[in-house]
Amino acid sequence: MDNQNLTNVLAFASVIAVFVLAGVQFVKTTVNVPKNIFPLIGLVIGLLVGAAAYPFMELELVLRLWAGGLAGLSATGLFELAFSKREGSSKE
């Protein structure tokens, strides 16, 4: 992967992260699932959004999937970092 492809993947991931975050929040409010699988849900939604964005980007499918995966993991982590209260230490 050359530098231009990497730049395109990161730019595309930045754009679709908003849609992935909205999808994860929709799942959180409608389906009762354990909290520890939300990163996996974010990854799956990111992959789906990346693959579904075929008409909007000229990237290869593999690069769109990479961007979707990155967007899914980063959107989930960013939301948890910003809005979840994390108290205590790692060894309890």
Report yes or no on 44 lying in a domain: yes
Confidence at residue 47, expressed as pLDDT on a 0 to 100 scale? 93
Report yes or no on 22 lying in a domain: no
Confidence at residue 51, expressed as pLDDT on a 0 to 100 scale? 92
Confidence at residue 90, expressed as pLDDT on a 0 to 100 scale? 47
Instruction: Give the range of the structural domain holding residue 44, as residue numbers without chain letter.
Output: 3-16+34-83
Q: Which residues of the chain have pLDDT under 70?
A: 1-2, 79-92
Report yes or no on 59 lying in a domain: yes
Report yes or no on 91 lying in a domain: no
Long-range contacts, stretch 11-14, CB < 8 angstroms, 24+ apart: 12/50, 12/53, 12/57, 12/59, 12/63, 12/64, 12/67, 12/71, 13/66, 13/67, 13/68, 13/70, 13/71, 13/74, 14/71
Report yes or no on 57 lying in a domain: yes
Task: Kindly give the residue spans of alpha helices, DSSP state H, lying in 1-92.
Answer: 3-30, 38-52, 61-83
> Which pair of structure tokens corresponds to residue 52?
């579904």
Report yes or no on 50 lying in a domain: yes
Residues 6+ apart with CB under 8 A from 47: 65, 68, 69, 72
Confidence at residue 45, expressed as pLDDT on a 0 to 100 scale? 94
Record the pTM.
0.80
Report yes or no on 92 lying in a domain: no
Domains identified in the chain, total number? 1
How confident is the model over 28-47, as pLDDT tens digits?
A: 889 888 877 888 889 999 99
